[in-house]
A = this chain, B = another copy of it.
Amino acid sequence: MITTRQLRYFDALVRTGHFGRAAEEVGVSQPALSIQIRELEAALGGPLVDRGTTAHRLTPLGAEVAARAAGILTALRNLEDLAFVRGEVLTGPLSLGIIPTIAPYLLPRLMPVLAEHHPRLRLLLREAVTATVVDELKAGKLDAVVASLPLNEPEFDEAPAFVDRFLLAAPAGSPMAEAGEVSPGEVRAGDLLLLEDGHCLRDQALAVCGMIDPRRLRTFGATSLATILQLVAAGQGVTLLPEMAIDPGLRADRRLALVEFTQPQPGRTIGVAWRKGSPRDADFRALAAAITAAA
């Protein structure tokens, strides 16, 4: 008899590749997890993992079971979510992931909208780069994420909220700052300042400017747009700036010039993504609507 417990433990084992860490993740001791894995292997008539002391590999049977187990666990999570869908939309706890290039600019505008229209919503926020929040959404640690769409994950549904245009931030007085507008192709690789690896905005900036060769790029350890903007203000280069990041304080900065791109203006679509089949999808669409209202 296969139990959900066995599947949960095995799923954690697959994701961590380590009995001890998997046990920690599901909140039991390592022997308890080992025993459940052994039970599952007995039920399926063969080993699921090739045990090495340091590293483990899934057997072919294990890989097949892992894929099916993930599907079953997602369906179970969705079933459990039915408990929260009682009454009106957007009430109760909601674990939401937001990427760093959206969170600080969206949240100040979004929170008042949610507080007014969905006062019984309890948001549990998590800020991390796209790859991280995507993994956590798949694993069930998050209910939904706010990110740049599309995420190209077949197991997600998405609701776009608004389009965020890109502008060019350049040092005041530089040639580009003097032009009324610039085309993306005019940005030189040596001038472009980028966020560190993992931020989707970095990849989008490269795509917009048509750059592929990573060798000629100047990447800083900067994890926030605010830091990058300080570098631009100091004349170190230019950067792609999402329109939503512009606030009055930024416009007042005499060291910076904000230049629009020529048509068609590049931009990113901001929206909400969640696991397909979730019974809370009405909630998530309502959230996307609230984001549209806030933007």
Chain B neighbourhood of A45, CB < 8 A: 83-84, 86
Query: A3 and B3: CB pair below 8 A?
Result: yes
Chain B neighbourhood of A46, CB < 8 A: 83, 86
Q: Which of B64, B71, B76, B279 contacts A279 (CB 8 A)?
A: B64
Query: A80 and B3: CB pair below 8 A?
Result: no
Q: Residue of B at shortest CB range from A6?
A: B4
User: Quick check: is A124 within 8 A (CB to CB) of the other chain?
Assistant: no
A interface SS class: helix
Query: B69 and A79: CB pair below 8 A?
Result: yes
Query: A82 and B3: CB pair below 8 A?
Result: no
A68 to B79, CA, bound (A): 7
A80 to B39, CA, bound (A): 13
User: Quick check: is A234 within 8 A (CB to CB) of the other chain?
Assistant: no
Query: B72 and A2: CB pair below 8 A?
Result: no
A178 to B44, CA, bound (A): 62
User: Quick check: is A75 within 8 A (CB to CB) of the other chain?
Assistant: yes
Chain B neighbourhood of A1, CB < 8 A: 4
A156 to B261, CA, bound (A): 54
User: Quick check: is A286 within 8 A (CB to CB) of the other chain?
Assistant: no
User: Quick check: is A61 within 8 A (CB to CB) of the other chain?
Assistant: yes
Query: A44 and B83: CB pair below 8 A?
Result: yes
Query: A65 and B86: CB pair below 8 A?
Result: no
- Chain A residues 78 to 118 lying within 8 A of chain B, measured CB to CB, are 78-80, 82-84, 86
Tell me how far the C-beta of A190 lies from the nearest C-beta in chain B, rounded to whole angstroms.
53
Query: A43 and B75: CB pair below 8 A?
Result: no
Query: A2 and B75: CB pair below 8 A?
Result: no
Tell me how far the C-beta of A209 lies from the nearest C-beta in chain B, rounded to whole angstroms.
45
Query: B68 and A75: CB pair below 8 A?
Result: yes
Tell me how far the C-beta of A205 lies from the nearest C-beta in chain B, rounded to whole angstroms.
42
A204 to B83, CA, bound (A): 46
Q: Residue of B at shortest CB range from A42?
A: B83
What string of 1s and 0s marks CB contacts (under 8 Å) between A227-242 and chain B? Answer: 0000000000000000
Q: A45-B86, A68-B78, A71-B75 are in contact. List 5 more A-B contacts (CB 8 A).
A: A3-B3, A46-B86, A61-B82, A61-B86, A65-B79
